[in-house]
Structure 1
Amino acid sequence: MSLIKKEEIKLRDFANRLKEAMGGSSLRGFEEKSGISNSALSSYLNSKSYPTLDRLFAISQASGKSVEWLASGEIPDENMVTVYQYDLRVSAGNGALVEHENPVAEFRFSADWLRQQGLHGRKLSIVPVMGDSMEPSLYDGDLILVRHEEVRDGLCVIRIDNNVLVKRVQYDYAEGKYLISSDNERYKNIELGKDFKGDFQIIGQVVRVLQRVRQAA
């Protein structure tokens, strides 16, 4: 008789957890809630395949069940809060085209620490920096914690058309325009006024650098 690894048992039991997560929903009904195809859900329920992290996240969002419980059957520690890292590439240079915004990893934070930082209950995400325009404040490869809420000023993650950038943003109330600047003096400032015809959005405010690839000189 061979021993069955704990991880294999967790995978084998995923189908049962998915059934519980779906509740009384039909395959078609849960497809509409989660955005996952009927055929993929059927494959998961029959243990023929298992969801990727982005689909596991979609199931979590649709069912209200935690990703941790769906993946392992373990109930998460209520004093720990999960924040997801996305493959969204935040450019600190001239911008990076965003094709997918799916969770690729997760970080666990103490709820007490988040309260101390004024971040508990906030919508948060973690994204990597790409480029050198924010040096020496941010380096290519740094991981930053982003708070998603309405904001006009500060160190922010922004989208200009299809480019996602991390920049310092200052709003001029008198002129009704945004001044977007870099910490690296080699990069020019950008002004976006009322006559700007493109798409501009402040995605969130950078609240902390979680992981630095190197220290400033």
Structure 2
Amino acid sequence: MTDFDDDPRAALDRLCRDRGVDYARLSDVIGRNPAYIQQYIKRGSPRRLAEGDRARIAAYLGVPEAVLGAPVQRVATSVRGAHGNDMLLVPKLAIGASAGAGASIDGEPVEGAVAFDPKWLRDLGADLRALSIIRVEGDSMAPTLDDGDDILVDGGDAASRLRDGIYVLRMEDVLMVKRVARVPGQGRIAVISDNPHYRNWDDLPMTAVQLVGRVIWTGRRVR
């Protein structure tokens, strides 16, 4: 069993017992040979259900597809790696920062996922329940972050744990990535562009920004 999602095989086995549905009947529901579901649950063959089969089984049993292993939108999920080690699939959102008015890190569709070692993430101090990857747009944070870089954002590390660092934030209804630093005065911060050709905000009340999450890692294509 993983930290986030039950093993889909174990979940399906339990559902069959709870619903009084035998393996052969469930195999028939998806048009497979009678031993198909038993082999999937007991022997791990196939390694995962086909999307169509998973959807039909979920509908038949009356459960969300996520219970049977479907990706969960905007939530990191734990999976078993090829070598038997647990990996965390972090959703990559179809959004960039700066992204313009109305963009939301919580409401955008997932365009993929990237696998990370959960121990490595814990060593970074990350909240494994609140991670996402978004794309940097523009060069206001160059040379630290370049246009097109992927950034790993910890949504559990925002205003309540604020310290100097790089954050995804919303200001003036625009989602952006900037360096944030505390300044003298209760509840006051500076919002800084690493690229000197872009604007800084040297003294703002915390209420002027919404901190979405701290940037804890970046990946980029070698140019």
Q: Would the TM-score normalized by the shorter structure come out above 0.5?
A: yes
* C-alpha distance in structure 2 between counterparts of 1:116 and 1:201, whole Å: 26
**Contact 2:187/2:206 (CA < 8 Å) preserved in 1?**
no
Q: Which residue of 1 aligns with 2:137?
A: 130
User: 1:165-204, aligned counterparts within 5 Å?
Assistant: 165-172=176-183, 174-191=185-202, 193-194=204-205, 200-204=209-213
Consecutive unaligned residues of structure 1, counting only runs of 5 or more, are 1-5, 24-29, 31-58, 70-74
CA distance in 1, matches of 2:53, 2:71: 14
Q: What amino acid does structure 2 have at the position aligned with 1:131? A: G
TM-superposed deviation, 1:187: 1.0
TM-score with structure 1 setting the length: 0.62
Q: CA RMSD in A?
A: 3.1
- Give the corresponding residue for 2:59: 19
Match of 1:210 in 2: 219
Alpha-carbon distance, 1:121 to partner: 3.1
Cα drift, residue 86 of structure 1: 0.4
Shift of 1:142: 0.3
Verify the 8 A CA contact 2:127 2:154 in the aligned structure 1: no
Structure 1, residues 157-208: CA drift from partner, whole Å, max 9, x if none?
A: 0011320110001123525322100110011211463497x6x210000001
What code does the residue aligned with 2:52 have?
R
Q: Secondary structure at the match of 1:67?
A: coil
Sort the Cα spacing of 1:108 and 1:152 in 2 relative to 1 into closer, same or farther, 3 A. same
1:65 positional shift: 5.0
Q: When the two structures are aligned, how many residues end up with a matched partner?
A: 160
User: Which residue does the alignment assign to 1:26?
Assistant: none
The sequence identity of aligned pairs, in percent, is 29
How far off is 1:101 after superposition? 1.2
Considering only CA atoms, is the larger Rg found in Structure 1 or Structure 2?
2
Task: Report the CA distance shift for 1:152/1:173 in structure 2 as closer, same or farther (over 3 A).
Answer: farther
Distance 1:194 1:134, change over 3 A: closer
1:1-217 matched pairs, under 5 angstroms: 10-19=50-59, 22-23=62-63, 60=66, 64-68=67-71, 76-77=79-80, 79-91=86-98, 96-97=100-101, 98=103, 101-119=108-126, 121-149=128-156, 150=158, 151-153=161-163, 154-172=165-183, 174-191=185-202, 193-194=204-205, 200-212=209-221, 214=223
